[in-house]
Amino acid sequence: MRRMTHSCKKIKLVKMKIAVLAVFVSAFFLPSFVPFEKLGNNMFAVILNNRKVGTVASPEEAERCALEARRQLALESDELVLVESDLKVEGREVLWGRTDHSKEIIENMVQVLKSDVKETLHRSYVVKVNEYMVNLASKDDVVFLLQAALDKYDSEGRYQVELQFDSFRELPVLSTLIQSREEVVEAREAVNMEAGIHADLTTVFEEVEPAVEKDFEDYDLGLISMEYGDTIEVVEAYLKEEEITDVNSAVREVTQDEEKSDIYEVVAGDTLSEIAIKTNIPMDRLIEMNDILEDENSLIRAGDELIITVPEPKLAVIRQEEMYYEEDYEEEVIYVDNDDWYTTERKTLQEPSAGHRKVVAVVTFENDKEIDTEIIKEEVTYKAVPKIVERGTKIPPTYIKPISGGRLSSGFGSRSRPTKGASTYHKGIDWATPTGTAVVASCGGTVARAGWGSGYGYVVYINHPDGRQTRYGHLSKILVSAGQTVSQGQKIALSGNTGVSTGPHIHFEILINGSQVNPLKYLN
């Protein structure tokens, strides 16, 4: 029995050897067997920023791991992280081998990326006020800055600013909303209380409640509205830490007054000294800023514009205040037009006197400058009497230089006597010009005199429609006669050297109400 068992085992062993041999022979000698072929790289070493982080079966798997690693790194911070990410794979062909688990590769990648972070860009906000820009770290800092601009003029803290998305802009730009704290509270209460029949009844009562004129004590005086006077834009951005401004420094920059140029229009009765006091600008500085001013005695007229500087912050705030005051007041001047008079002619028909009144007014300020006043309640203690002025409507004639060219050789006013018989007070102006130069009428009118005049030599007088008279002296030849009508620019004489004269020239005068004035002030 034992011998049979042993024989069976031997037979089985032989059969197995024959089977293996048959497979081997088939592989090399039978025509239907396909021989072993190279299939290319089937295992890849993953290298991130020149450091090996694992082994994968395909380049696509390496890309998936790198994408997940960058995602995990980004989730660890609210800021924008800039990091070097140079991914390479090195492939090889193997019959068998081991790849790393993707979780392990991703962890290795995250560590490499963390060590290679270049810089973190912080989520921040860019605030633009006109041409001024400042970068702040958070939305709360933006609100703090804008609120500080309001609080400068709102000592009681009645108004607050909020940021909201501007629905009219394509890009995500934040705009400002200023509300009184009472409005905010009322809005919340309205949501809770003004519902259903209660809201309907409130509307009905408001509609039937009669309007009653307020008395002075019924007004809630003080600040009633606020808004920014400049365009503000707030946009989100990612910036380096060193590019972000500390909010307290930003508040100082935006709210601190700085000198800005402005225009002051001269009004009737103004003097340079009064303007200097009004604008709080030293006289020498006012003269320095304006080329039309030579010194403190320079002539200024109503309507002239002077450059001044005013202290203003970068962000303007416009506010309205309800104010009570008592004042003396004057009525507007009443003008009576006279079509027969020139615009230079006026006559006061009634002298004014001031009145007195109690007033509640809405006064509008831009920063600290009052820009408008609207009276909403007025009680006159005694009425003002208006000034009544009759004035001309006709445009007065103009005056031109009576010669072309010439050199101004003697001005109007006091002078040293130029020659025997000449006056020490010059009542006109002289232009030196060769004998025979054409002399024209400075303004149209009627020739009053044409001939020889003592001291003047040959002279022409012309009366003009506005009551003025012009005189042209030291002529060599007269081309018009008394009673003749002449037009502006018409040739009336030739210049010369007659009468009391030191050389060839034209002497020119303008007389108003019979008295000579400086012609240079009236020539166009």
Reported as a single tens digit per residue, the pLDDT across 222-245 is 999 999 999 999 998 888 888 999
pLDDT range class, residue 171, cuts 50, 70, 90: low
pLDDT range class, residue 78, cuts 50, 70, 90: low
Q: At 291, phi and psi to the nearest 5? A: -65, -25
Structure tokens at 280: 């709080």
pLDDT at 14 over 60: no
* Choice between 119 and 95, residue whose per-residue pLDDT is larger: 95
Instruction: Determine which helix (DSSP H) or strand (DSSP E) holds 200, and give its type and residue range.
Output: helix 196-208
**Residue 28: per-residue pLDDT:** 44
Handedness of CA 241, 246, 249, 251 (dihedral sign): positive
> What are the CA-CA distances from residue 302 to residues 283, 290, 308, 394 (Å)?
19, 16, 16, 20
pLDDT at 310 over 90: no
Span 101-116, pLDDT tens digits: 999 999 999 888 888 7
What is the residue extent of each domain of the chain?
Answer: 43-115, 124-206+215-254, 323-396, 407-521
> Residues near 265 by Cβ (< 8 Å), separated by ≥ 6?
303, 304, 305, 306
**Residue 35: per-residue pLDDT:** 45
d(CA 439, CA 472): 8
Average pLDDT over residues 388-403: 94
Q: Are strands 355-366 and 346-350 parallel, antiparallel or unpaired?
A: unpaired
- Could you tell me which CATH class the domain 407-521 is placed in? mainly beta
**Residue 278: per-residue pLDDT:** 86
| Percent of the chain clearing pLDDT 70 (strictly above) | 84
Q: At 132, phi and psi to the nearest 5? A: -90, 135
Which residue in this structure is represented by tokens 């303008």? 510
**Residue 327: per-residue pLDDT:** 94
* Exposure string over 322-347, b if 16+ CB within 10 A, otherwise e: beeeeeeeeeeeeeeeeeebbeebee
According to DSSP, residue 57 is labeled S
Angle at 123 between CA 120 and CA 127, to 5 degrees: 130
Distance, C-alpha 321 to centroid of its chain? 24
Q: At 517, phi and psi to the nearest 5? A: -125, 170
What predicted TM-score, i.e. pTM, was given to this entire model? 0.52
d(CA 443, CA 41): 107
**Residue 450: per-residue pLDDT:** 97
- Cβ atoms of residues 119 and 240 within 8 Å: yes
* Choice between 68 and 25, residue whose per-residue pLDDT is larger: 68
**Residue 190: per-residue pLDDT:** 62
pLDDT at 80 over 90: no
| Percent of the chain clearing pLDDT 90 (strictly above) | 56
Closest of 377, 403, 417 to residue 507, by C-alpha:
403
pLDDT range class, residue 493, cuts 50, 70, 90: very high
d(CA 327, CA 87): 82
* CB under 8 A, 24+ apart: contacts of 141-148: 141/247, 141/250, 142/174, 142/234, 144/247, 144/251, 145/247, 145/250, 145/251, 145/254, 146/176, 146/228, 146/232, 146/315, 148/251, 148/254, 148/255
Average pLDDT over residues 390-405: 94
Strand partners, 52: 47
**Residue 84: per-residue pLDDT:** 77
Angle at 462 between CA 457 and CA 464, to 5 degrees: 160
Q: What is the CATH number of domain 323-396?
A: 2.20.230.10
pLDDT range class, residue 36, cuts 50, 70, 90: very low
- Cβ atoms of residues 124 and 142 within 8 Å: no
Structure tokens at 87: 């991914």
**Residue 415: per-residue pLDDT:** 72
**Residue 83: per-residue pLDDT:** 72
Closest of 79, 81, 54, 76 to residue 66, by C-alpha:
54
pLDDT at 82 over 80: no
**Residue 244: per-residue pLDDT:** 93
Window from 20-24, 111-115, 292-296 with minimum mean pLDDT: 20-24
d(CA 110, CA 53): 10
* Choice between 492 and 164, residue whose per-residue pLDDT is larger: 492
Mean pLDDT (the chain) is 86
- How many DSSP H helices and E strands does the chain contain? 9, 30
